[in-house]
Structure 1
Amino acid sequence: MSGLPGDLPFPETAAAARRLIPELAARVVTEDRLGAVRVIGGADASSTRFDPTRAVHAAMVALDWPSLVPLGEAGAVRRGGLPYVPGLLGFREVPALAEAWAALHPRPDLVLVDGHGLAHPQGLGIACLLGLVLDVPTIGVAKSVLVGEVAGDLPDEAGARAPLVWKGRQLGIALRSRRGANPLLVSIGHRVSLDTAIAWVERCLRGRRLPEPTRAAHDAAGALRRR
């Protein structure tokens, strides 16, 4: 595919994507390399597994920090990419998200992505891949476990945490964003440490299950798909 930010090639087959994963996963930066955050972003993509057109409806939003007042929104629809293959959804959805990013103003200094980062079987979830493509700090904020298990107790109270562990290694954290809600799975995307990722997700909660950036992006992607 052409026209994407950065120099990362996007494969046209699942086999080609799998061959790229080790190289790309090695590029992920797991420590803090972000500056001042004045604009915070959210990213989400919506698609249907059995859609014969393989349409991906992607949205990115920009919010002022710290007020979280919306500043901008952009969407993109791409068809005919990779099929729905578990573990490779980033390769299916990031091209559309990158297209939305190109139309987004202002550009965020940090992006919360609706999906996993390092909490992925090969350490390359959509938050990692998007961060690499855009060269922007990203955080994975997923709504369900892809791999691993939550270790230990997770009390039913806002702010409760427990490690997300797989094969003896911590992949991220399960965070109870509010009482009575299923936990969020927070993981490193790119250029953000896990402690910093957790802190930013907590700062962006406004009494709902989802942090405001990904909630706004989810709503925007859903609206784009309905249109």
Structure 2
Amino acid sequence: MKITGIPAAWPDSEAAALAVQDELRGKVVLDEPGPAPGSGLVTGVDVAYDDERDLVVAAAVVLDAATLEVVEEATAVGRVAFPYVPGLLAFREIPTVLAVLERLDSGPGMVICDGYGLAHPRRFGLASHLGVLTGLPVIGVAKNPFTFTYEQPGPRRGDSAPLLADDGAEVGRALRTQNGTKPVFVSVGHRVSLDGACAHTLGLARRYRLPESTRHADSLCRRALKEAQQASA
């Protein structure tokens, strides 16, 4: 089991991490539409932890956006890179996520994180952080709204409602991906519009509430974590 190392200059304190967020947040690109929905490749990324063993596992699953067929899979195992601090979770995950993306031969295309982009207390969640560091178009599709408020969208697939910050700014959307199911929460990470992010999410969630990218990456990540735990036992 090869374990990915933590970069030498990686922040090791809350103050240092906040300074990095402040520096990188201004580099988020919000004025590009992003790839056309249903075209090219899309890559789902997910992360799982074992804090007792100091392990973090990242999985990446590349899909053909038109057919939703799996093109490639990869996993990476690393050490937890940062203590648990709400709002700074990306610093625990990014080194291993970067490592797993580097292992893809096909190239990731657009990346979908199981998490947040602008829908983050400091407007810089994992999807934004990853996008700025890689230059890739990235969106966040989360299972809950974090600290933001929203009205329930309509009951039909494709119905949506703004996800609002305390100052009234729209930081994402609550999006109904299947009739009568709970919405998912879509936010821009980098180099994709919010309309485009929602269209991609609907295109990837043709049968289930969650995008196929998230479903595949979550399953692979769980298997990889179990294998890493067994190898370190």
TM-score (norm 1): 0.90
Q: How does 1:156-167 map to 2 (within 5 A)?
A: 156-166=155-165, 167=167
Give the stretch that moved more between structures: 26-35 or 195-204. Answer: 26-35
Paired residue secondary structure (1:27): coil
- Assess if the C-alpha contact under 8 Å between 2:65 and 2:204 holds in 1: no
Cα distance, 1:188–1:35 mapped onto 2, change above 3 Å: closer
Give the stretch that moved more between structures: 57-66 or 30-39. Answer: 30-39
What is the aligned-residue RMSD (CA, Å)?
A: 1.7
Cα distance between partner residues in 1 of 2:155 and 2:171:
22
Which runs of 4 or more aligned residues in structure 1 lie more than 3 Å from their structure 2 counterparts after TM superposition? Answer: 33-37
Give the stretch that moved more between structures: 155-164 or 168-177. Answer: 155-164
Q: How does 1:44-83 map to 2 (within 5 A)?
A: 44-48=46-50, 51-83=51-83
Aligned partner of 2:207 in structure 1 is 207
Cα distance, 1:80–1:172 mapped onto 2, change above 3 Å: closer
1:2 to 1, 4, 7: 7
Aligned partner of 2:90 in structure 1 is 90
Cα distance, 1:80–1:199 mapped onto 2, change above 3 Å: closer
Amino acid at match of 2:160: R
Amino acid at match of 1:164: L
Amino acid at match of 1:116: Y
Cα distance, 1:99–1:131 mapped onto 2, change above 3 Å: same
- Assess if the C-alpha contact under 8 Å between 1:58 and 1:96 holds in 2: yes
- Assess if the C-alpha contact under 8 Å between 2:30 and 2:190 holds in 1: yes
Amino acid at match of 2:196: T
Cα distance between partner residues in 2 of 1:52 and 1:198:
37
Cα distance between partner residues in 2 of 1:80 and 1:195:
34
Aligned partner of 1:42 in structure 2 is 44
Give the stretch that moved more between structures: 71-80 or 32-41. Answer: 32-41
- Assess if the C-alpha contact under 8 Å between 1:181 and 1:209 holds in 2: yes
Amino acid at match of 2:120: H
Task: Using the aligned pairs only, state the percent identity.
Answer: 39
Cα distance, 1:11–1:33 mapped onto 2, change above 3 Å: farther
